[in-house]
Structure 1
Amino acid sequence: MANKVLSIEIGQTLTKVCEVEHGTKNTKVFNCFSFQTPKDMLEDGYVQTSEEFANSFREKCAEYGIKNKNVIFTISSTRIANREILIPLVKENRIKSVIQANSQEYFPMDISTYQFTYSILDVVTEEDKKEKKYKLLVLAAPSDLIESYYSLAAFCGLTVVAIDYNGNSLFQAVKNQFTQETSMVIKVDEFSSLLLVIKNQSTVLQRNISYGADIAIQTMIDSNAYGENLSYEEAANLFRKQTCILESLNAGESMKDSSRQEDTTLTIDEKIQRTKIEITDSLRYLINNIMRVIDYYNSRNQEHPIEKIVLTGLGGDLSGFSDLLSFEVGQKVLVLTKINATNIEKALKNEQLSYGEYVTAIGAAIAPLGFMAETVKLIKDKKDKEKDTKIGWILLIGGLAISIVLILTSLISHISTVAKKNSLETKISSLEPVEVVFKEYQSVEVLYEKMQSIQSLTELPNDHLLAFIQELEEKMPANINVLSFTATTKMVTMNLNVTSKEEAAKVIVQLRTFESLDDIQVAGITETNDESKIKTVNFTVNCTYQTNTAINSENSAASTEIQAE
């Protein structure tokens, strides 16, 4: 049976509350409202009990005629760690036990102070093993973070139904809006932004960016160009109604000189134009980080790049921001106008309310992940234990009867196994002489390999000089004259003459075919004519032998040992 719940997202400046129907296929929204979050109440996801918060909450509930006391919180914090993991394709009711068994491996920290939950991202097949596995997003939240929301709920007279993670809330709210195409949803909040890449209605990438729309709103407030002493809400509303953002980050380059003038020398229009430049420039880091995530995903998924980009959250309400983002990323960025909920238009009847403000609060009620405080978990575990105890007694009686049968069966099996063991021990004893022969064979084989290695180290290229000379006789032209021949352990130097340069070229080409040579260097080619006008070409050839690879390997190993020392 479906029940109404209050889904709450506590932001740095505003707290958003939705009264929604929980546990139905089509989530229905009844009411939406927001109020100012007390200063210093929220710090990196942790909340403090606050009388001001409780009073504001009660006043708003009374204004909208809400008496519901059941709540779902959606939270965001840098203290919530997340990992994408692969596990075998087990039954879904066993996934949590698999995660808990390996949680120390996923999160190398003191896991006793953390609460774990997960969401199934996809079912993938490993290429090398061709085995299907679950791709999971595992979340670990500090227990005291979760407890802080239970304490706040108790202080306000509320009962916690579930606690969801901001990323899952956003996904649940928008997943049905995307079918086969690969899409990115960008939720820009005050101080941070959440990016989801969705493919086939599954999250394939999730990233948090520590930049939001707050800096743009503060820039407007500090400028006084749109009014003095603007409140945060007034500035945010101005952004919804007026386009205060330029069409590109560099659109104001030509106007920066005038923007450096003193305020007293600028007209109102010039002050507004300067403020637009400053507001646009303040969004540079946010846009650059969004582009970095897009490039990261597309570079690793070139066959299925991001085809659609949707903007929501406070950033979706900033008039002109989607156009600026479209220009910088080179792809059309749309503002989210539809989510997975019914009656939403009626609930957002106040013109200052938007889809972006309440998208995660509504999504949290659809399918929350379910972080649970330790105290609540202990009560639940106790009830489960009592239920298991009753079942245990029934199983015990049946187990005793089965055990007697198994004992008799095991006794017979034991006698058979002992007999088999004795037979194997006899065979092992008879084969012991074979082990001695095998060990002798291994020793001789090692000695043989050492002798071969020593033999290879004694070989020098000059040992095959006679074969080299014979190869010269076979391959050199008949009219070649060898004037001198000098051989060392590394090379052979020959002074030669032939009848023409063409013959000299043939000699050099033939020398390059010698497998025993590594390099051929030619020097001092001269051409002379004697008294009979017979042409003679004289030149010197330096032939370097191929190096002994075994010696090189030995030298390299020795060098490595010296460096290691």
Structure 2
Amino acid sequence: MSKVLSIEVGNSLTKIVEMDYKSKNPKVYKCINIPTPDEVFDDGYISDSKEYAGTLRQALADNKIKTRQAVCTITCSKIANREIMLPNVKLNQVDDLIRANASEYFPVDLSQYELGYIVLGRENADTEAAKLKVMLLACEKELIQGYDTLFEQAGLKLVGVDYAGNSVVQIMKKEVTEETEMVIKVEEQSTIATIIRSGELMMQRNLGYGIDNTVQTMMSYHLFNEDSYGKCIDLLKEHNCIYPTLSGEDEETLKLKETLDKGDRKAMTDMTEALGPLVGNVGRVLDLYNSKNVEHPITKVSMIGLGSQIAGLDKLFTNELGVTTESVNSVKSVTFALNAQVKDTGEYLTAMGASISPVGFIEDQKKADAKKTNYLSLSILCLLLIGVIIAAMYIMAKKPYEDEVLQKTTLELLEKKYEPALKVKEQCDNVSRLYEEVVKVASLTDSNNDGLVAFLTELEAKLPSNATVEAFQSDNNQATFTIKVPTMMDAAGIINTVREFETLADVRVGSISKTTDKEVAIKHENKEVDDDFEEDVSEETYYTFNLECIYHSNGATGEK
């Protein structure tokens, strides 16, 4: 951001400076001012006024100012400030440290405030006990919102908010390099007294007095045919209307009174006395500092702001404070463009200081918007990068894609060519599936004893004639029968023979039992029956055993 509008809204005048933003050597391009309407400004607070915003917009257009980024500096008695001591941390860590302990410094609802700070310097910098001295500030968000609304209505974007006390330090610290100096920023209803030594802020106080009482006194007399606030201020700038001292008894004042008529003497006396509270409070700040810093007393007072343009005010302060007081109209902190044409430079110095290094008063939402803006730029850059990558990928993938399309077309033609063969294959597959189903159904009709007839035929052919089948039983899995033979050798031969049957899967032999039968024969010597006959008795032995013959599965046959 190269340029901003640095704006200070005052009780009677709004001062606008177009200059470089946050630059080490800022340049001022234009300085203008417009009247601040009555009842718009009240102790720093801005009332909603579209008419005032329109006047501001028109003033920028009339002066051909196109810059739309703006910062403002605020003078308000309700901005709380407190000097605190922090550990000797790096400057980029101060913000986080303050926000982490903010509730200890300001026991209020901090959700309604924005915080800022001014680094005053380091104490005991060369020792382990070094501390960072900071002035902590708390500003109501409602106060900032008024400026945000005003600038938005005027077509401006608020990018920074500064405290007038900091603005004074930033613009004046290069003017005080060795001695101790007090800078007083005198406005209509307030004064900021700032003490700087060797470029560092030593003390700062807000005083609730300005030149307003003197202006009101002038208006009450109607001696100068001026009845508007702004015109009275212009008259005070052009003519010396106050005495060199508050008492009016010094030789210079007495000589001046002799040249005036009674009415003018009375008016000038009252206007001078109206400055008494202002001069007195400035004097108390000066005495307070000098009493605590005997080795470095204040040697000069510099006056900026509206008061620096009031004729004779610097002489009054010099006489009453006992310290040389000068109005400042040039500074080393800024340079001016050739066409700047700045008049009454001292009035604009605070506005200039606001753009050098503001304390950072800005609403959280504005900070979030600023981040969003950065994210938006980053997003656009990412989208452009993605677009380039996509284009490169398209170019790289175009040739392979065309090759794939060609191959697809070729395959489609081949598919169409061999479509008849595909139909034949489908028919063949259907027949194969039908055959498998038929075989499966046929297998369901098979039984293990399908070979029973063949088994019996083979048994009949190979069973010895002296063997007798006493019992036979068959089911789906096996045949069981009982055989009787004369000798054990016959039994063994039958068992071996049966085991060779191809119709059987296995043969199991039960127990073999031996049985003896007696046979009685009657011999007749004569073929007649008589009492004398001979009875012939003989014994017959045989062996009985069981065979369990296991069929092959589904009646199959196999070789053993």
Tell me which interval the TM-score lies in, with the shorter structure as reference length: 0.5 to 0.7
Deviation at 1:162, TM superposition (A): 0.6
Alignment match of 1:298 (pick from 290, 293, 312): 290
Over 3 Å counting, the alpha-carbon distance change for 1:64 and 1:33 in structure 2 is same
Deviation at 1:252, TM superposition (A): 5.3
Query: Which residue number corresponds to residue 310 of structure 1?
Result: 302
Secondary structure of residue in 1 paired with 2:261: helix
Query: Which residue number corresponds to residue 70 of structure 1?
Result: 69
CA contact (8 A) 2:53 2:151 kept: no
Query: Which residue number corresponds to residue 231 of structure 1?
Result: 228
Mapping of residues 418-433 of structure 1, within 5 Å: none
Q: Deviations over 1:381-431 (max 9, x none)?
A: 7789999xxxxxxxxxxxxxxxxxxxxxxxxxxxxxxxxxxxxxxxxxxxx
Secondary structure of residue in 2 paired with 1:347: coil
| Range with bigger deviation, 368-377 or 208-217 | 368-377
Separation in 1, partners of 2:199, 2:17: 24
Q: Which has the higher helix share?
A: 1
Query: Which residue number corresponds to residue 46 of structure 2?
Result: 47
Deviation at 1:268, TM superposition (A): 7.2
Mapping of residues 326-341 of structure 1, within 5 Å: 326-339=318-331, 340-341=333-334
State whether structure 2 residue 337 is matched by structure 1 residue 324.
Answer: no
Query: Which residue number corresponds to residue 37 of structure 1?
Result: 36
AA paired with 1:146?
I
Mapping of residues 489-500 of structure 1, within 5 Å: none
Deviation at 1:7, TM superposition (A): 0.7
Deviation at 1:198, TM superposition (A): 0.4
Query: Which residue number corresponds to residue 536 of structure 1?
Result: none
Deviation at 1:232, TM superposition (A): 2.1
Secondary structure of residue in 2 paired with 1:150: helix
Q: Deviations over 1:63-94 (max 9, x none)?
A: 21111111011112122111111101112221
Query: Which residue number corresponds to residue 354 of structure 1?
Result: 344
Query: Which residue number corresponds to residue 189 of structure 2?
Result: 191
Query: Which residue number corresponds to residue 244 of structure 1?
Result: 241
Q: Deviations over 1:487-518 (max 9, x none)?
A: xxxxxxxxxxxxxxxxxxxxxxxxxxxxxxxx
Alignment match of 2:272 (pick from 264, 280, 283): 280
Separation in 1, partners of 2:108, 2:131: 26
Secondary structure of residue in 1 paired with 2:232: helix
AA paired with 1:247?
P
Separation in 1, partners of 2:44, 2:220: 27
Over 3 Å counting, the alpha-carbon distance change for 1:292 and 1:312 in structure 2 is same
Query: Which residue number corresponds to residue 57 of structure 1?
Result: 56
Separation in 2, partners of 1:170, 1:343: 18
CA contact (8 A) 1:115 1:372 kept: yes
Deviation at 1:25, TM superposition (A): 1.8
Over 3 Å counting, the alpha-carbon distance change for 1:354 and 1:346 in structure 2 is farther
Secondary structure of residue in 2 paired with 1:206: strand
CA contact (8 A) 2:241 2:311 kept: yes
Segments of structure 1 that go 5 or more residues without pairing to the other structure are 257-265, 388-565
Q: Deviations over 1:102-160 (max 9, x none)?
A: 11111111112211111111111299x85111100111111222222222222222111
AA paired with 2:362?
M
CA contact (8 A) 1:38 1:52 kept: no
Separation in 1, partners of 2:111, 2:375: 21
CA contact (8 A) 1:219 1:279 kept: yes
Segments of structure 2 that go 5 or more residues without pairing to the other structure are 378-560
Over 3 Å counting, the alpha-carbon distance change for 1:386 and 1:17 in structure 2 is closer
Query: Which residue number corresponds to residue 488 of structure 2?
Result: none
Deviation at 1:43, TM superposition (A): 2.1
Query: Which residue number corresponds to residue 148 of structure 1?
Result: 146
Secondary structure of residue in 2 paired with 1:247: coil
Q: Deviations over 1:294-326 (max 9, x none)?
A: 011111111111111111211111111111111
CA contact (8 A) 1:287 1:325 kept: yes
Query: Which residue number corresponds to residue 118 of structure 2?
Result: 119
CA contact (8 A) 1:171 1:196 kept: yes
Q: Deviations over 1:416-467 (max 9, x none)?
A: xxxxxxxxxxxxxxxxxxxxxxxxxxxxxxxxxxxxxxxxxxxxxxxxxxxx
What is the alpha-carbon root mean square deviation over aligned residues? 2.7
Aligned length: 373
| Range with bigger deviation, 42-51 or 192-201 | 42-51
AA paired with 2:63?
Y
Separation in 1, partners of 2:287, 2:313: 20
Mapping of residues 79-98 of structure 1, within 5 Å: 79-98=78-97
Separation in 2, partners of 1:157, 1:120: 33
Q: Deviations over 1:339-370 (max 9, x none)?
A: 22111785344xxx312211111111111112
Query: Which residue number corresponds to residue 219 of structure 1?
Result: 217
Separation in 2, partners of 1:252, 1:273: 13
Mapping of residues 399-410 of structure 1, within 5 Å: none
Separation in 2, partners of 1:59, 1:383: 28
Mapping of residues 173-184 of structure 1, within 5 Å: 173-184=171-182
State whether structure 2 residue 263 is matched by structure 1 residue 271.
Answer: yes
Separation in 2, partners of 1:187, 1:237: 18
CA contact (8 A) 1:212 1:286 kept: yes
Deviation at 1:24, TM superposition (A): 2.3
Alignment match of 1:363 (pick from 337, 353, 358): 353
Query: Which residue number corresponds to residue 531 of structure 1?
Result: none
AA paired with 1:29?
V
CA contact (8 A) 1:150 1:373 kept: no
Secondary structure of residue in 1 paired with 2:335: coil
Over 3 Å counting, the alpha-carbon distance change for 1:379 and 1:60 in structure 2 is closer
Separation in 1, partners of 2:29, 2:172: 19
Alignment match of 1:206 (pick from 198, 204, 207): 204
CA contact (8 A) 2:116 2:361 kept: yes
Separation in 1, partners of 2:68, 2:354: 16
Over 3 Å counting, the alpha-carbon distance change for 1:254 and 1:203 in structure 2 is closer
AA paired with 2:360?
G
Separation in 2, partners of 1:194, 1:345: 31
Separation in 1, partners of 2:124, 2:260: 62
AA paired with 1:325?
F
Secondary structure of residue in 2 paired with 1:297: helix
Secondary structure of residue in 2 paired with 1:146: helix
Deviation at 1:285, TM superposition (A): 0.6
Alignment match of 2:168 (pick from 167, 170, 178): 170
Query: Which residue number corresponds to residue 14 of structure 1?
Result: 13
AA paired with 1:139?
L
AA paired with 1:12?
N
Separation in 2, partners of 1:119, 1:384: 27
Deviation at 1:253, TM superposition (A): 9.3
Separation in 1, partners of 2:9, 2:305: 14
